[in-house]
Structure 1
Amino acid sequence: MDAVTGAWEWLTTGANWQGESGVWNRLGEHLWFSGVCLALACLIALPLALWLGHVGRGGALAVNVSNVGRAVPTLAVLVLLTITPLGRIGDLPTIVALVLFAVPPLLTNAYVGMREVDRAVVEAARGMGMSGGQVFRRVELPLAYPMVMTGLRSATVQVIATATLAAMAGGGGLGRIITAGFNTSNTPQVVAGALVVGALALLAEGLLAVAGRALDPTRATRRATP
């Protein structure tokens, strides 16, 4: 309880939110890291997963290969990248490590969502004269949308939580608050930093859940169904 009380006092002290090492600045850095990594991971994983799910070939191999990455500790990847020539290019090692960490849930969920679309519905759409592209856009993608969003939410929470490792490579983000607390044996600061990261992850999860329901392309159809 002392650590929690101390963390609350730390968070409610205005000076801890100001300046280069303050919470607001570290939060901005954390959001930048997370946003860039998620955007890159989506650009890599989603087109590949959706296409493989559409054609029904090679997807299982791609999913298995991507899932191997889950067994590799992100910190180990970050350390290895840092000692390579990439470590001389600013935040690139952290971005690469986090992108590799975000790809598996995005790719797996999107591919599974595409393959779980009722084949009878797909064949019916083709029987109506739809082209492959039309079937993809109007039938498969809307029906796979919930699984795609599940993967996005999972990847977002994981990246936000794991982006704290950027501090290990000298980067910014909320991890710097936690590491600074460790370096000075300031337990309340460590707990406060962890609480901010946890709150940010939960907020992102909630916002994506609301956005997912609001943007669901099958929402109107479900409402019209008695």
Structure 2
Amino acid sequence: MSVFAALGTLLTRLADCLAPLFGASATAAAIVLFTLCVRAALHPLARAAARGEKARAALAPKMAELNRRHKRDPERLRRAMAELYEKELVSPVAGCLPMLLQLPVFFVMYHVFSTGSGAGDLLDHTLAGAPLGGRWGGDLTGPHGPVYLALFALIAAVATWTYLRARKAAADARPVGAGMAAGAAKVLPLLSFGTLVTAAVVPLAAGLYLATSTTWTAVERALLHRTVRVEGAKGGARSSG
């Protein structure tokens, strides 16, 4: 059985279980439930990423000093940063793992509802009347407009919240980010709106996956950062004691 057929079978079985509660929208509910299960499985990596972000923030003064010392020699600066990360046992890419590991899942979801490969009759299923295999046609006033309007509104709200948090984090880390790093810090927060553009061109099922996943990410990051701050405060209190 191909991975596309496996996903189609799984969604069909989940939809059958959820049909008594959600009726014709059971497959859409199955996609949401499937997405939540994927994100729950990746939660340990997200926790590690949050701790990694805190560790990188603690290195900010040292990174700023390296940047000041080697700002005229980018290659020397790169090596010095790599050595610092290795010495402090901090990975500069740990925060990207949860996102990267989701890409294959999103691709499979996109492929199933774009081509119908392994989908069975899933393409005939709907969310409030809008076909899960259909795409937004650029019109929010048509019969399926309210479904896409709600989807885009949710993604836009999450993207805006993520953008504001990312801007604040970039501002807090500004002493470290001279040169290219500062430019990246200004651009990266805008990437949160890329999800909105993607949702407008992919099948509704894939857009539903994106909306669920980005909402989970926003809530998860807020809770994890709060937990990490509390743990850090308790650790500091024990050290001073």
Task: Give TM-score scaled by structure 2 length.
Answer: 0.28
